[in-house]
Structure 1
Amino acid sequence: MIKLFLLLVVLQSSHGWIINNLKSKILKRKFFAKGYDGVIDSKELADLRITLIYPGTKWCGAGNIADGYDDLGPEAEADMCCRDHDNCADYIPAGETKHNLTNKAFYSRLACYCDLQFRHCLREAKTKTANKIGTVYFDLLGTECYKEDYLITGCKKRGGWLNTKCVEYSFDDSSPPRHQWFDVPNYN
């Protein structure tokens, strides 16, 4: 998480990600007070949740700060894409199993078709904000999605930031299709 946060901060020149919902009074009372017992109840834990949201948006980042589905920030084009992505119906929450796949990431992973729709939407938005969000999500974070396909036998071509992700797979066409993890495609 810290690696992700630092990456996002470095990528933004004059615009940084906004940290929301950090209750400084709770931090001061609980973490800096004498006699802190190390126990945080569930209400306080919810209050301490940190949400990273891209400036000008309410849906682009970890979670959202929107008051409802139709509540968008000034960067509405990008925000609509993020909102639709956040509402993808086919996902695997962190730590859960679906389609015989266990999501070991600390965030939800989506079906590949949702990520492809997200990429298409951001590209069609044609805004600086949409392009920055697309670059971070698709090229830098190392995000994976899942889909059903023949058994992956290897990687034919690498790409992305520092060539760390597979952009072209090889398959065993004789195997029955199964759900598997795939690296998301490059943004551009």
Structure 2
Amino acid sequence: MKFAIIQVLMPAMVAARMVFLNNENESDYERAGSWQIIYPGTKWCGAGNVAQNENDFGPEIEADRCCKAHDLCDDYIEAGGTKHNLTNSAFYTRLKCQCDEDFNACLKKGNTRASNQVGYLYFNALGTQCFREDYPVISCVRYTITPKRKCLEYEYDTTKEKIYQWFDVQIY
């Protein structure tokens, strides 16, 4: 499974290094799509991963372990995909909210410069969303102010059946 956990960070990761995956059997067109942006010092934090195997981590191991676990989330909707009666119109893969919550907690527990930067970018700076099954949302009752306006608290219609819906990810 190769999907990005922080694919949405591409514009914000100015310091990230570009990694070109070279395969002599690929055409130039195919290789052009192989560029990846990976957070410095990690092998799992970015679009895809550059790890040689499942136990290969960069020097920023705390952040890397969190990113790997996030990459391996068991329920996700790829860009343009449909699942649980939801269509993902974003350019990045969206995950179930529990995976994003676990990712947030893991990065906070790591509490390194890299894990905190990845956490801030993914959860605060970008407008990422996750999905979960819950009562239908009536409205948002509390928002963040900056850097991106996100809903912090929802009002639900508990008289109706639970459905899958998009939710703003928690702040870091």
- TM-score, structure 1 as length reference: 0.80
Contact 2:126 2:148 in 1 (8 A): no
Among 151, 154, 157, the residue aligned to 1:166: 151
Q: Which residue of 2 aligns with 1:46?
A: 30
Matches within 5 A, 1:75-154: 75-154=60-139
Shift of 1:160: 5.8
Q: CA deviation at 1:22?
A: 7.3
Do the aligned residues in 2 keep the contact of 1:160 with 1:186 (CA within 8 Å)?
no
Q: Once superposed, what is the RMSD of the aligned Cα atoms?
A: 1.8
- 1:81 & 1:122 partners in 2: Cα distance? 6
Q: Distance in 1 between matches of 2:156 and 2:129?
A: 18
Residue 21 in 1 paired to residue 20 in 2?
A: yes
| Count of residues in correspondence between the two structures | 161
Q: What is the aligned-residue identity percentage?
A: 47
Three-state SS of the structure 1 residue aligned to 2:155 is strand
Ranges of 4+ aligned residues in structure 1 off by more than 4 Å = none
TM-score, structure 2 normalization: 0.87
Deviates more, 1:142-151 or 1:158-167: 158-167
What is the CA–CA distance in structure 2 between the aligned matches of 1:86 and 1:76, rounded to whole Å? Answer: 15
1:44 positional shift: 2.9
CA distance in 2: counterparts of 1:118 and 1:4, whole angstroms: 15
* Separation of aligned partners in 1, 2:145 and 2:103: 17
Greater fraction of residues in helix: 1
Q: Where does structure 1 lack aligned partners over 5 or more consecutive residues?
A: 10-15, 24-41
